[in-house]
């Protein structure tokens, strides 16, 4: 009995750091939308804002890729093509669509839409690999999408319906783009390792965002922004981008992807709370009900749908 108690105590000690890392990572990720909404108040556009974020994040991700690739074989031409495609879909396109959508909808609705990502991964898995969708997975998906539609309908009533619909569509396409990355990255994760792949793919995305800015805006526009935008972009690049990536990776190593994903449920809640406190976004019974439906649906989808 004593040996069993000691073993259980040791297991809890090993799980606790992983749960803390996963929770902190989810909260830090959710802060990205808050920072973007704050930066928009200073008149910056999506092209400039995402360029600044990626400009400050590039050295961190390049360092991550170098660190994870030490002593490992160099990438082949096929590897580089794959990394470029994954970086384009998973981080460049999804990030840009997300930033553009946030100009039209609240941070709360944005986070709830992005939280549908596991359901999109399953749908792409069914389309590409003919993986079966279980009854409970379908039930969970239906509950989650009903929750998003509930919050979206409430937001349409509060503001311009066309702008809200456009913003929600952009964010949903962002989630689709990232789901494509997750489905396509499986082979490359096995070949390169998750941390090395993330570092390389995000570095590619950073360069693409910088090139996009150089093609669409004059170079002087990078410095023609309020000082607050610069500081917010630095905060976004570090605390809300690089740090949570490392935290979630370290959490997965300790508690596994399933438990890390379950812990990520704090993300939508933290976004809503920060949106209310920091941005002054409304919090109504409709938003609370929609959020509860989305979280409950994802819980059913991931737990009961196995």
Domain residue ranges of the chain, discontinuous segments joined by +: 21-304
Would you give the DSSP letter of residue 284?
-
Distances (CA, A) of 136 to 50, 203, 214, 301: 38, 38, 48, 6
Q: For CA atoms 199, 205, 209, 214, give the dihedral sign.
A: positive
Per-residue confidence of the chain (306 residues) as pLDDT tens digits? 444 444 444 445 568 887 888 888 888 888 899 999 999 999 999 999 999 999 999 999 999 999 988 888 888 899 999 999 999 998 899 999 999 999 988 888 888 898 888 888 888 878 777 777 788 888 888 888 898 888 888 777 766 677 888 999 999 999 999 888 888 887 788 888 888 888 999 999 999 999 999 999 988 888 789 999 999 999 999 998 888 888 877 777 777 666 666 677 787 888 888 988 898 888 888 888 888 888 888 888 776 555
Whole-structure pTM value: 0.84
The Cα 229–Cα 40 span in angstroms is: 8
């Amino acid at each position: 009995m004593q040996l069993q108690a000691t073993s259980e105590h040791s297991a809890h000690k090993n799980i606790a750091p992983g749960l803390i890392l996963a929770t902190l990572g989810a909260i830090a990720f959710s802060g990205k939308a808050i920072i973007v909404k704050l930066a928009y108040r200073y008149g910056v556009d999506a092209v400039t804002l995402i360029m600044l974020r990626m400009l400050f994040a590039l050295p961190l991700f390049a360092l991550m890729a170098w660190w994870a690739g030490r002593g490992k074989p160099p990438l082949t031409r096929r590897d580089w093509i794959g990394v470029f495609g994954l970086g384009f879909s998973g981080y460049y396109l999804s990030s840009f669509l997300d930033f553009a959508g946030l100009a039209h909808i609240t941070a709360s609705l944005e986070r709830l839409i992005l939280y549908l990502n596991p359901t999109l991964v399953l749908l792409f898995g069914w389309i590409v690999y003919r993986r079966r969708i279980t009854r409970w997975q379908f039930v969970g998906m239906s509950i989650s999408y009903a929750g998003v539609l509930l919050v979206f309908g409430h937001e349409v009533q509060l503001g311009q319906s066309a702008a809200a619909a456009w913003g929600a569509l952009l964010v949903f396409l962002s989630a689709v783009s990232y789901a494509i990355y997750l489905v396509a990255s499986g082979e490359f994760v096995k070949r390169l390792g998750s941390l090395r792949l993330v570092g390389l793919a995000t570095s590619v995305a950073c360069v693409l965002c910088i090139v996009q800015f150089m093609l669409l805006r004059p170079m002087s526009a990078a410095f023609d922004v309020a000082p607050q935008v610069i500081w917010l972009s630095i905060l976004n690049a570090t605390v809300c981008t690089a740090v949570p990536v490392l935290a979630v990776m370290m959490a997965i190593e300790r508690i596994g992807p399933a438990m890390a994903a379950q812990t990520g449920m704090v993300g939508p809640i933290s976004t809503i709370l920060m949106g209310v406190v920091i941005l002054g976004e409304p919090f109504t019974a409709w938003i609370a009900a929609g959020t509860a439906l989305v979280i409950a649906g994802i819980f059913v989808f991931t737990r009961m749908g196995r």
